[in-house]
Amino acid sequence: MKYQLIIIGGGPAGYTAAEAAGKAGLSVLLIEKNNLGGVCLNEGCIPTKTLLYSAKTYDGARHASKYAVNVSEVSFDLAKIIARKSKVVRKLVLGVKSKLTSNNVTIVAGEAQIIDKNTVRCGEETYEGDNLILCTGSETFIPPIPGVDSVDYWTHREALDNKELPASLVIVGGGVIGMEFASFFNSLGVQVTVIEMMDEILGGMDKELSALLRADYTKRGIKFLLSTKVVALSQTEEGAVVSYENAEGSGTVVAEKLLMSVGRRPVTKGFGLENLTLEKTERGVVKVNERMQTSLSNVYVCGDLTGFSLLAHTAVREAEVAVHSILGKEDTMSYRAIPGVVYTNPEIAGVGETEESASVKGIQYKVVKLPMAYSGRFVAENEGVNGVCKVLLNEQEQVIGAHVLGNPASEIITLAGTAIELGLTAAQWKKIVFPHPTVGEIFRETL
């Protein structure tokens, strides 16, 4: 069978590309070996945010008295929280499938194997395509720590489906995934320890705000071991034993459960990528141009396989660019304003340059910042809670970065992303009329 476009992988990049191409009238084949929606929808973005919202609601009920609301006997049901998470995922997966079928996308379940740039096999069937988009996603990286194979550890997948709370949890890795699970389990009363090799949690985010978030969670009982290397793992009846080393010497932490969360890496094997002999970058990932096109003109790569940001929203935009390129429409991918969000409580979000990245690149910048208390809406909804809004301006007074600690950072960060993408100066951005009262007004107050 022949199609105008074959897509391998049904995650955010894959299903976005399939829908856009199908809507444009192309004959499209989408091959997915697991569930539509990929890691993001099935075991990443959506399920974790569903759990975190339950935890946030529980936190709100426990502290309702701050808002003159009396709530007695606050409790939670973990099994029902997990069940609701699964229901949300099922609903959204069905929604994705409905969108694809309504746009005449042919969906095939199974493992794809690339034969050449125009031929893909799945099961007993062989398919031909004029164009090929690879959206194979990423997988959890488990470092080769001595003893790792002897420990009954969790990855994010097991943590999402666990229906019994451990008394204690050690999380190896203080990145986005690690901190979101630390937030969730801390809210539900679990004793959490986070071990991070870097000198601060949330590498890549603004260091000052990351430190403030860590200080907040330290007050809530989470123990952080920074600049600390895990050197060995073992299993005992009491739980997992994590041996570590840092500047203060060596030590161990024993916890009922261990969550390995040191990062993810692109999936590059198992689907015949080697049969395409694509040009690679110095980092060893597939090289693409600004239209997401590889060294083979009819082969495109989107999403985590590019190795760029491993974020669903980046993948969605890359997929749009790739399909537009196939359709002959002018469009290019820009990475100037890719937002990063950590859905802890409070949230932390950033877009554009951080102070650290600007310094490394030699960009001259100045920082303007304000406490979130300068937003009346924030004060009304966050009793006794602090936060920070920071904006970076270059020598021409253009907005080049913005970072927010405080709810709802995830919802307002796009305001800054738009300013960065459009190259607005502080004066130009300030001419935009913001509705009042909103938390987003904090950007206008900051400038």
β-strands 2-8, 28-32: how paired?
parallel
> What is the percentage of the chain residues whose pLDDT exceeds 90?
97
Q: Give the tokens for residue 218.
A: 């330290």
| Residue pair 381/437 in contact by the 8 Å Cβ criterion | no
User: Residue 191 forms beta bridges with which residues?
Assistant: 168
> Per-residue pLDDT tens for 23-41?
999 999 999 999 999 999 9
> How many residues appear in the chain?
447
* Predicted confidence (pLDDT) at residue 5 exceeds the cutoff of 90: yes
pLDDT over threshold 90, residue 6: yes
Going edge to edge, which strands form the sheet with 340-342? Answer: 340-342, 348-352, 399-405, 388-394, 365-371
Catalytic residue chosen out of the listed positions 156, 324, 403, 436: 436
Catalytic residue status for 436: yes
Instruction: Write down the pLDDT at residue 284.
Output: 84
207-219 and 176-187 helices, crossing angle to 10° = 20
376 near 360, Cβ under 8 Å? no
Please give the Cα distance from 267 to 288 (Å, whole number).
Answer: 16
pLDDT tens for residues 196-217?
A: 999 999 999 999 999 999 999 9
Average pLDDT over residues 1-26: 97
Q: Which long-range contacts (CB under 8 A, 24 or more apart) does 182-185 make?
A: 182/217, 182/222, 182/344, 183/52, 183/55, 183/217, 183/343, 183/344, 183/345, 184/48, 184/51, 184/52, 184/55
**Does residue 308 surpass a pLDDT of 90?**
no
Q: Which tens digit of pLDDT belongs to each residue from 261-274?
A: 998 999 999 999 99
323 — alpha (psi -120 to 50), left (phi > 0) or beta?
alpha
Neighbouring-strand partners of residue 368: 391
